Amino acid sequence: MHRYPMNAGAAAAVFGAVQLALGALSSLAVGLWQDGSPKGMGVVVGSAGVLCYVGRILVVRWHGTKAPAAAV
Tell which wins on pLDDT, 1 or 61: 61
Asked if residue 22 has pLDDT above 70, the reply is yes
pLDDT of residue 38: 93
pTM score, two decimals? 0.67
Stretch 57-62: mean pLDDT: 87
What pLDDT, on a 0 to 100 scale, did the predictor assign at position 3?
72
Please give the pLDDT value at position 46: 96
Q: Where are the domains of the chain?
A: 5-63
Name 11's Cβ contacts closer than 8 Å, sequence gap at least 6. 1, 4
- pLDDT tens profile 24-48: 999 999 999 888 899 999 999 999 9
Is the separation of the CB atoms in 1 and 7 below 8 Å? yes
